[in-house]
Chain A
């Protein structure tokens, strides 16, 4: 039982490049989330998916897109990376109104 897994662990991009962060959970949770964590800013919600087939914007959605591929997988795409998107990205999953379980994170550096 791996919980929440994320790939890649670390990525370096140049400004303007695109990439997709992958997330999968094996807990059969309905809801999945993407956060970014920056020093002094805490964890901020980018997008969430309350259930398979739905996605909604969180606090900081600009510059990102998401896809809920199936119940297990939820990906985050940066179409044209900017230095302001340098951050640590966490995926999480839960049942609605229940605690969330987090993955190990992806560290992204945009030059």
Chain B
């Protein structure tokens, strides 16, 4: 089983839709969880950062962590064409020395 699993999509939604992006992970020791957004031909950009379980909201974005299920989610409300990108989940490894990434979900929001 891979350490981090993420559905690659692609996911296509109309403008204004609520988007749900998800990752599962296998190592219960992970404590720090991130979501990155990557536009085509650009570097990953940190979007959300959460520690342990719970929710964190930032504008139209909400990150959710359920450690009991080893499941993390990113919700995007009122999605915009500018949200079209690849979204990568990531977790800090046990040693704190590196990020373990999901392979990314490609999102397309049409106007």
Contact = CB atoms under 8 A, between A and B. Distances in A.
Nearest to B98: A45
Interface in B77-104: 88, 92, 96-99, 101-104
Interface string A26-56: 0000010100000011110100101000001
A102 to B, nearest CB: 4
Interface string A86-111: 00001000001111111111010000
Say which size band chain A's interface belongs to: 20 to 34
Nearest to A50: B97
Interface residues of B, number: 20
Given A97-B32, A97-B92, A97-B96, A103 B101 contact: no
Given A97-B32, A99-B34, A90 B98 contact: no
A96 B96 contact: yes
Nearest to A59: B98
A58 interface: yes
Nearest to A43: B101
B103 A105 contact: no
A99 B49 contact: yes
A42 B101 contact: yes
B42 A100 contact: no
Given A97-B32, A97-B92, A97-B96, A105 B42 contact: yes
B44 interface: yes
B103 A90 contact: no
A14 B50 CA distance: 43
A107 B41 CA distance: 9
A48 B93 CA distance: 13
B45 interface: yes
A17 B2 CA distance: 35
Contacts of B45: 102
Nearest to B102: A42
Contacts of B17: none
Contacts of B29: none
